[in-house]
Structure 1
Amino acid sequence: MGILQFGQFQLPYFMSFLNNFASKTFNIIQQKVTYVSNTSSRRLFKSLAISGLVLYITYILLSAHQCCHSSLFFTNSKQKWSPYAGPNSPTNVNHLVFGIAGSSNTWGHKKGYIEAWWKPNVTRGYLFLDRPPIENLPWPSSSPAFRISEDNSKYNAYHKHRMPFAIRMVRVIEETFKAENRGDIRWYVMADDDTVLFIDNLVDVLSKYDHTKYFYIGTNSECALSNFYNSYEMAFGGAGYALSYPLAQAVAKNMDLCIKRYPTLFGSDHMLQSCIADLGVSLTGEKGFHQIDLHRDISGLLSAHPQSPFLSLHHLDVVDPIFPSMDRHGSVNHLMKAAKVDSSRLLQQSICYHKQNNWTFSISWGYSTQIYEKIFPPSFLHRPLETFAQWRKGATPPYMFNTRFPLNDPCEAPHVFFFESVNKTRGNHIFTSYARKSPRGLPACSLYGNHSAAGISKIDVLSPLRSYGGAGSRRECCDVVQLVGMNAMAVKLRACKRDEIVG
């Protein structure tokens, strides 16, 4: 005998939950209402309680299935977004709507990634789940409002697809557009439930583009094979991507046709890219989105970020925690401490030198600093140190960028210091501190006279209070301004002088 379902909500599970809920409620009331004492009255009272709850929760479920409030029982669904500033105002966070593809089975673990960047009553949008998240109730105000994805079984392709959930995920853009399509919206940003976004940087980047035109903004994978098997012109969904209003409107209108036209494509992001290509729109690349189709330690990549605002991180569950001695969620929250103070500089790389000791400093603001016991030009250090492993073994070439292979040569292996704290109260500068987590374990580089950096345990970095970056900006230069005692160094970031060549 089949199990009666409401959407993907199993009735036996629901009735068990309801019985328990009603029993607990009845017991509480029973303690207070002492005059309901005989057996028949108690049975009648319990039956009435269950009937009332069935009617109430059925109403909530029906409304949740179509408009899916944040909670089945609580009033967290009403969003208090900031007022619209006008059609000619600069793009701000109120002009963005977020559509997040998730699963109730994994939300309990992955919500920490979303809650690290989500701003209740500021960010607007929805988390789309495959079924009501009963096990995660009551729904917290720190999470996005959820909706239950519409029934996709009407699509013949759904039943034949190797990954049926891909059709549900590709329709998130359509369902987000139907939920939020007022005239003040300029951009629709799509992401997965394990994507970490950096909102202020995202707003700054999208401000460069004309939202009244057709824009599809994102990035491809770091893994060459992932792009080969999908498309080099595809924005990978885990990294996140943005669609301008007119493009999102066109995609939503043609979604059924696109699904029918591309029933065999493996991933939802490939289906979407194919649909967008058919609309005559190509990918506009932004290097700050990061799919992270990599494994193991990605500190080498994050320490040599491209000269572009840092926009997203994905796949953090398949790589090592980005900060040593912290877990994955703790690492993300730690990085957010720097982002909240100055997201414009986050992970931006600066190179400077302490020439008395022939040391090179590489600063990835808010994440790490490195000391090399040799003078290296920026063109060398802009290539990430390959601390990570391939997403798919044996790929040639493995990556979409050049790397440096780690060596046990004391002249080439860096001393690594990770972000520890941030403070913006020191005059007109932001003060960040970086601490060594483990010894390098190598002798000093003897090439220029054994000037070992092994005794340095801390590096302080001073950066200007003004925002960094913008179109046509150069990387910041820096100076080693003082030696603080015997075990700490201080570095000051500054704008490069006209025609200055670093080194």
Structure 2
Amino acid sequence: MAESIHKDQKTVSFDKCISSSSSRCSFMAIVIFLIFLSYFLYSFSFISVLKSPSKVSNSLLVPVMQVQLGSGQNHTEDKTELNHIVFGIAAFSKLWKHRREYVKTWWKPNGEMKGAVWLDKPTVNDSLSSALPEIRISSDTSSFKYRYRRGHRSAIRITRIVSDTVRMLKGTESERNVRWIVMGDDDTVFFPENLVRVLRKYDHKQFYYIGAPSESHLQNLQQFSYGMAYGGGGFAISYPLAKTLEKMQDRCIESYSDLYGSDDRIHACMAELGVPLTREVGFHQFDVYGNLLGLLSVHPQAPIVSIHHLDVVEPIFPKVDRVKAVERLMISAKLDSASLVQQSICYDRTNQWTMSISWGYTVQITRTYMPARMMEVPTRTFSDWHKRHDFNNLAFNTRPITYTDCQRPRVFYMSRTLGDSSSSTTVTEYLRHNELNPNCEWGIPDPSDINRIFVHKESNPDRWNKAPRRDCCRLLPATKKGTMMIKVAPCENDEIAAYSDK
């Protein structure tokens, strides 16, 4: 009964719609026809567009073209290399015989690096040395005013080295390949591979002024500026900016005759050009006196680019002269320049020791647990630029060398490397520095019983292409009494540097 009624209802309803020719049914038919027609026309238009790409709108084409260009681009051509950089080194003839030995430690001869040493007057036979850049004599600056009472007008000569270098390059074949002008002093040591790593981050076609302020808060705050790149620590200027600076620098120098140095004149001209300082913490002015151990053993997590004031501070390694000390550091730089003086922190639970490795430079062992947040703060092995031990005058945090005699660290300096640069695994040896070790009644074993430490590490040239993070270190089984073996390697995702007695 219910089924027959349902069929009858459907039949009656359908017949009614046909027989009645109602406006409602006509409207529905028209809507269906229009939808079908629109779909047909859209499909035909889309097929036609595919056959004729020129009709595609720009809004559709841009994303597709960008992806194709990005995937097919030859990135090798865009990568900055050492031969794209030209160095301008400021020097004095009376100091050059001594300071040229610093330049020899980092300069790559036989055309591998480009640049010139700019002297105030000629010296004997320097131009014949193949281990040094070519020697140039700075242009005459006697017509410029210099009104700073306690300064020296040689600052004008040095600040014009940028312009002199640009004029030296103009119209030459080398100019086509220039991307950066890098300034430094004759007592500045550069780490060229790390300099290249830093400059690769920036578009050399844009206006860039790259460097770092002083470590001295008073220097930055009172006499100079936190926005100024200090010339001793070195700075880089993109070549388009250097050419623009050359056009206006002489007028700019005349406008700032009352300034003290060469680098603050560069800064003043940059301010007129509207170009701010791009800070890179690997450029080191080192406006300090004393021992650089506290600074270099906890270097910022960034590639070390330069070291300045080598005639002012103590030798980087003890018991050798300053040049020999730099040469030893360069041995580590040749093995793994990207990791040079990068810190790792780990713990020996058995002996209750805290260990800090500054790869290629030092290993330090301290009795008892020292948290990572403390170990990454520089120790006060130096005084400020005014030869005072007022550490409020510095632009960074510091901590005492030791809080008790028992916590005085035992320092092991890099002595030699085992293997060569062709191997991916590096082994560096560190020997204990003999110094006064006060008695300690803590009952914790004395790290002085360790005489040498071997650090095993995989070279990691691409470390700065990733987010910065300290490497981790782990103790390895010792093979001889008085010897420690440590492995340094990238941390696992969940690995931490924290003490545990479990």
Supply the distance in 2 between the matched residues of 1:331 and 1:482 (Cα, whole angstroms).
Answer: 31
Cross-structure match for 2:71: none
Supply the distance in 1 between the matched residues of 2:151 and 2:330 (Cα, whole angstroms).
Answer: 37
- Tell me whether 1:482 sits opposite 2:477 in the alignment: yes
Cross-structure match for 1:386: 380
1:73-152 to structure 2, matched below 5 A, reads: 88-120=77-109, 121-134=111-124, 136-137=125-126, 139-152=128-141
Among candidates 262, 266, 272, match of residue 272 of structure 1: 266
Cross-structure match for 2:416: 421
- Equivalent position amino acid for 2:303 in 1: P
Supply the distance in 2 between the matched residues of 1:96 and 1:273 (Cα, whole angstroms).
Answer: 21
Among candidates 156, 172, 179, match of residue 168 of structure 2: 179
Among candidates 427, 431, 438, match of residue 435 of structure 1: 431
- Tell me whether 1:308 sits opposite 2:298 in the alignment: no
Higher mean alpha-carbon deviation, 479-488 vs 408-417, is at: 408-417
Cross-structure match for 2:395: 400
1:485-500 to structure 2, matched below 5 A, reads: 485-500=480-495
Contact 2:352/2:444 (CA < 8 Å) preserved in 1?
no
Contact 2:412/2:452 (CA < 8 Å) preserved in 1?
yes
Supply the distance in 1 between the matched residues of 2:283 and 2:306 (Cα, whole angstroms).
Answer: 5
Give the CA deviation at 1:132: 0.9
- Equivalent position amino acid for 2:183 in 1: M
Higher mean alpha-carbon deviation, 86-95 vs 346-355, is at: 86-95
- Equivalent position amino acid for 1:208 in 2: K
SS at structure 2 position matched to 1:271? helix
- Equivalent position amino acid for 2:397 in 1: N
Supply the distance in 1 between the matched residues of 2:436 and 2:455 (Cα, whole angstroms).
Answer: 21
Cross-structure match for 1:192: 185
Supply the distance in 2 between the matched residues of 1:142 and 1:153 (Cα, whole angstroms).
Answer: 32
Contact 1:373/1:410 (CA < 8 Å) preserved in 2?
no
SS at structure 1 position matched to 2:448? coil
Give the CA deviation at 1:224: 1.0
Kindly report the root-mean-square deviation, in angstroms, between the aligned alpha carbons of the 2 structures. 2.0
Supply the distance in 2 between the matched residues of 1:128 and 1:456 (Cα, whole angstroms).
Answer: 48
1:150-299 to structure 2, matched below 5 A, reads: 150-157=139-146, 162-181=151-170, 182-228=175-221, 229-299=223-293
Among candidates 338, 362, 369, match of residue 368 of structure 1: 362
* 1:133-152, Cα deviation, whole Å (9 max, x unpaired): 13x55631111101111111
SS at structure 2 position matched to 1:384? coil
Aligned in 2, Cα 1:127/1:233: closer, same or farther, shift over 3 Å?
same
- Equivalent position amino acid for 1:164 in 2: R
Among candidates 452, 459, 467, match of residue 465 of structure 1: 459
Supply the distance in 2 between the matched residues of 1:463 and 1:132 (Cα, whole angstroms).
Answer: 46
SS at structure 2 position matched to 1:278? helix
Contact 1:320/1:328 (CA < 8 Å) preserved in 2?
yes
Higher mean alpha-carbon deviation, 153-162 vs 342-351, is at: 153-162
Aligned in 2, Cα 1:424/1:277: closer, same or farther, shift over 3 Å?
farther
Supply the distance in 1 between the matched residues of 2:207 and 2:346 (Cα, whole angstroms).
Answer: 41
Supply the distance in 2 between the matched residues of 1:271 and 1:428 (Cα, whole angstroms).
Answer: 45
Supply the distance in 2 between the matched residues of 1:194 and 1:478 (Cα, whole angstroms).
Answer: 34
Supply the distance in 2 between the matched residues of 1:139 and 1:95 (Cα, whole angstroms).
Answer: 24
Supply the distance in 1 between the matched residues of 2:441 and 2:477 (Cα, whole angstroms).
Answer: 22
SS at structure 1 position matched to 2:263? helix
Among candidates 338, 342, 346, match of residue 348 of structure 1: 342
Contact 1:444/1:453 (CA < 8 Å) preserved in 2?
no
Give the CA deviation at 1:412: 2.2
Higher mean alpha-carbon deviation, 292-301 vs 235-244, is at: 292-301
Cross-structure match for 1:58: none
Give the CA deviation at 1:366: 0.7
Paired residues in the alignment total: 416
* TM-score (structure 1 length as normaliser): 0.79
Give the CA deviation at 1:179: 1.1
SS at structure 2 position matched to 1:150? coil
Supply the distance in 1 between the matched residues of 2:179 and 2:163 (Cα, whole angstroms).
Answer: 15
* 1:282-301, Cα deviation, whole Å (9 max, x unpaired): 11111111111111111111
Contact 1:170/1:269 (CA < 8 Å) preserved in 2?
yes
Which protein has the bigger helix share? 2
SS at structure 1 position matched to 2:210? strand
Give the CA deviation at 1:442: 2.1
Contact 2:335/2:459 (CA < 8 Å) preserved in 1?
no
Q: Which runs of 5+ in 1 are unaligned?
A: 1-84
Give the CA deviation at 1:185: 0.9
Cross-structure match for 1:501: 496
Contact 1:373/1:414 (CA < 8 Å) preserved in 2?
yes
Contact 2:301/2:468 (CA < 8 Å) preserved in 1?
no
* TM-score (structure 2 length as normaliser): 0.79
SS at structure 1 position matched to 2:177? coil
Contact 2:119/2:136 (CA < 8 Å) preserved in 1?
yes
Contact 2:148/2:257 (CA < 8 Å) preserved in 1?
no
Give the CA deviation at 1:411: 3.7
Supply the distance in 2 between the matched residues of 1:303 and 1:194 (Cα, whole angstroms).
Answer: 21
Give the CA deviation at 1:243: 0.5
Q: Which runs of 5+ in 2 are unaligned?
A: 1-73
Supply the distance in 1 between the matched residues of 2:391 and 2:380 (Cα, whole angstroms).
Answer: 15
Supply the distance in 2 between the matched residues of 1:270 and 1:138 (Cα, whole angstroms).
Answer: 30
Contact 1:177/1:249 (CA < 8 Å) preserved in 2?
yes
* 1:89-114, Cα deviation, whole Å (9 max, x unpaired): 31100100000010111100100111
SS at structure 2 position matched to 1:147? strand
Percent sequence identity is 41
